[in-house]
A and B are shown apart, each in its own frame.
Chain A
Amino acid sequence: MKNFRKYLPIFILIFSIGVGIFFRFYQLGKSPVGVYVDEASIGYNAYSILKTGRDEYGQFMPIMFRSFSTFQSPIYTYITVPFIALLGLSSYSIRLPSAIFGVLTILLLYLLAKKLSSSETFALIAALFLSLSPWHIQFSRTVYETNIALFFLLLGALCFYHALKKPWLYILSSLSFAISFIAYRAEILIVPVLLLMLTFRFGKTIASNVKSHMLPIVLSCVLGLIIIVPTVLILPTPGFQARSSTMNIFVPSLQEPWGIKVDAGNLSWILNNRQLLSVKEFLSLYTSYLSPRYLFSLGDAGPRKPFPDLGTFFVWQFPFYLAGLYFLLKEKNKKDLRYFVFTLLLVSPIPAALTRDPYSTLRSLPLVIPQVLLISFGLTKILEMTWPLFNKQKYLILTILAVYSTTRMFISIFYHNDYYTSIYWNYGWQQALEDVPNLDPDLPIVVDNSHGDSYIEILFFLNYDPATYQHDNFEVPLSEYYTNLTRNTTKHIGRFTVKGFQWGIDTDHTEQYIIADNIAIGLVQIHEHNLTIVDEINFPSGGVALRILKTNPKK
């Protein structure tokens, strides 16, 4: 019995990590079905770097990857390179880094929670809740830079707290923060604010140990700056600004701010003041990230973010969230935990709230950490306060709730998710391209690109030779890689030509194959232009994802 109690914490930690591994690795690469264009872009560019040292546009080791002129952060792409070298280019190999870092984040959170609170129970509960978090699982199963950025953010924080007693860990902390800074755009705001808080909180401690801390701190600052300087230098370029300016609610754009009143009459100049309305919209978006309705009921309304019927947390965790908020605010001897949690809690929603997307779990992923910590702290305090009343009953109820929610999450992820969301994950390209060897090899194939950048799906699933692709396609001069946002919408990939589809020219005059979705070419047009349906790839929900058609030009 004594041995059991001694090893119970390790057992619970291993169990938490085991559950985390299961939900992140089970059917990895197969679910969600399809590979979204951003995932394919990261994967193919990593493959291109592996084969040629250049991205798909021919740029040597880019600081940021151009990728449809949206300029993705580079860290995930470079981390994926060795995985592709080992396993080949596939949906599994590109999602594997995310799953691995997702599991490691669970361990990191355990160590960080233990450091901040000196409570084993609290740390174990936090690890378990993160391993079961639908929010974190979602981004650990797919190719999103934010998950990797979160890992390095936590690593940087953990190393900082340990560096207060072992100064040389400042270097690892600095490197981690720097990588997090360039790994995802939200961290460009979060990392400096977190560092500011840590400096403010521990400034006196560091100053009182100047002799032992000075050199490591100076070295860490220098190394950190070396890493972030290339990114900082391209911050003002049109390339970096492109995505921010189209998404930022404070930038005048074609989209009206929320709340415009159409019939404001003579008072329009004040009632429809753009700046006031933008501030109001920002505040509404900001508070939504802290609202129980989104956390425990609605979740993310975006097409690829939520698992069906799941919020970002489970409903039964709501009382613990409130308790955690209350107790952490009132607790006097948990200063480190309080500073860390409330800094992340209040700062993490800001980058997300600056964009128009309502409650974006992608852009606010760092928020999962303080909210998991709050829920865990609330539960820990309630367990402590009610000790030893009804212990067996309490743990039994909690276990039943956890098992019930976990099973529901399993059903949502592995039975429902693909049915309801395959349409948003560009499903169908792998199946369509598997049909290509059965087609007449002498005929060209035209691919419609009116609904997204389908060329990247072809490159990805064919594992098309990057050197050949770079040779056959031109986008912009490499000297204008970060400044010229022009896009060449026609792509040449062997016998494939990806372009804007033209009725008559592409359907009636040339014998060729056409690949398009149901919106680009419907059954009426197929009949009108005498096209032959070679194959149809259907979504799991039954609608047509893609069609392979053959033209029958009149001779």
Chain B
Amino acid sequence: MKKLLFWVSAILIFIFWPVSFFLANNNAWSQIFVGTQTIFTPDPLAIDIQSTKISLIPNRNLARIYENKTTIPLDKFKSNVFVSLDLNNYFFSLHPQEIIGGLNLTKYPYLAIIPFLVGLYFFSENKLRKWILCTFIVAVLSLAFINRQDKFDILLYFPVSAICLHGLRKIYTSSVIFYFFSSVFIPISTIEFLRIIFAK
């Protein structure tokens, strides 16, 4: 019974992101790369805003240091990195600050944040820690160069899921805690899964 609950929990953790991704792109696989831009693509609106900011700084040299050609791509890079590092990106569809026009997918059931945090706490005991860390860092840095990274951040599915699985295994070692956790996690995550499948 305990094993069954473990595997049901694990499946619920693993299934969300692929299903959400498939449903979001179902009618548009051929378009998935269309309109993809990098952070170096000229952004007229950002340039306009930057010109205004420069005009407000009385000292020209100061303005050049803080508002120059590298500022816009650097700011976008920084913003993209932190989107990948945002827990709400994975467990709450980026709520409360969803990206306008973005996919804002439901990537994991929100209660999976518990095994994720447990997995992070015991990360040093994870046998795959080097692989997870390298994959995660490389994926985050690569995605940060893309303007609309939400179409491609499924690259992070494997490292994040591995951390969740490790955390779930840790919870599994204590029967009382695991049964309590799964009694709440499984019904609520099932409801969340039904919300992805049956409702828009």
Contacts and interface: CB of A to CB of B under 8 A. Distances in A.
A271 B96 contact: no
A189 interface: no
Given A297-B79, A329-B121, A415-B56, A271 B88 contact: no
Given A284-B95, A298-B97, A263 B200 contact: yes
Given A276-B188, A411-B62, A271 B195 contact: yes
Interface in A329-360: 329, 358-359
A395 to B, nearest CB: 22
Contact of A315 (B66, B78, B191): B78
B194 A293 contact: no
Nearest to A330: B124
A237 B66 CA distance: 52
A293 B82 contact: yes
A270 B194 CA distance: 10
A292 interface: yes
A287 B87 contact: yes
A262 B121 CA distance: 38
A292 B86 contact: yes
Contacts of B96: 258, 284-285, 288, 358-359
A292 B85 contact: yes
Nearest to A541: B52
B85 A293 contact: yes
B58 interface: yes
A411 B56 CA distance: 9
Contact of B56 (A276, A287, A419): A419
A298 B98 CA distance: 12
A261 interface: yes
Most buried by A among B56, B75, B86, B87: B56
Given A329-B121, A415-B58, A283 B195 contact: no
A267 B56 contact: no
A301 B97 CA distance: 9
A263 B199 contact: yes
Interface in B26-53: 52-53
A488 B129 CA distance: 64
Interface string A394-438: 000000000000011001000110010000000000000000000
Number of contact residues on A: which range applies? 35 or more
Contact of B113 (A258, A271, A276, A287): A287
B91 interface: yes
Contacts of A448: none
A408 B52 CA distance: 16
Number of contact residues on B: which range applies? 20 to 34
A359 B52 CA distance: 27
B92 interface: yes
Nearest to B75: A309
Nearest to A271: B195
A529 interface: no
A309 B52 CA distance: 13
Contacts of B194: 267, 270-271
A280 interface: yes
B162 interface: no
B178 interface: no
Contacts of B91: 284, 287
Interface in B61-108: 62, 66, 75, 78-79, 82-83, 85-89, 91-92, 95-97
B149 to A, nearest CB: 13
Interface string A242-279: 00000000000000001101111101001101001000
Interface in B148-200: 188, 191, 194-195, 198-200
B199 to A, nearest CB: 3
Contacts of B57: 411, 415
A144 interface: no
A324 B88 CA distance: 21
B8 to A, nearest CB: 18
Interface string B103-121: 0000000100100000001
Given A259-B95, A281-B95, 5 more contacts: A284-B110, A288-B88, A288-B97, A408-B66, A411-B66
Interface of A: 258-259, 261-265, 267, 270-271, 273, 276, 280-281, 283-285, 287-288, 290-294, 296-298, 301, 308-309, 315, 329, 358-359, 407-408, 411, 415-416, 419
30 contacts: A259-B95, A259-B195, A264-B195, A264-B198, A264-B199, A265-B199, A267-B194, A267-B198, A267-B199, A270-B191, A271-B198, A276-B191, A283-B92, A284-B91, A285-B96, A287-B88, A291-B86, A291-B87, A291-B88, A292-B86, A293-B82, A293-B85, A293-B88, A294-B86, A297-B78, A358-B97, A411-B62, A415-B56, A416-B53, A416-B56
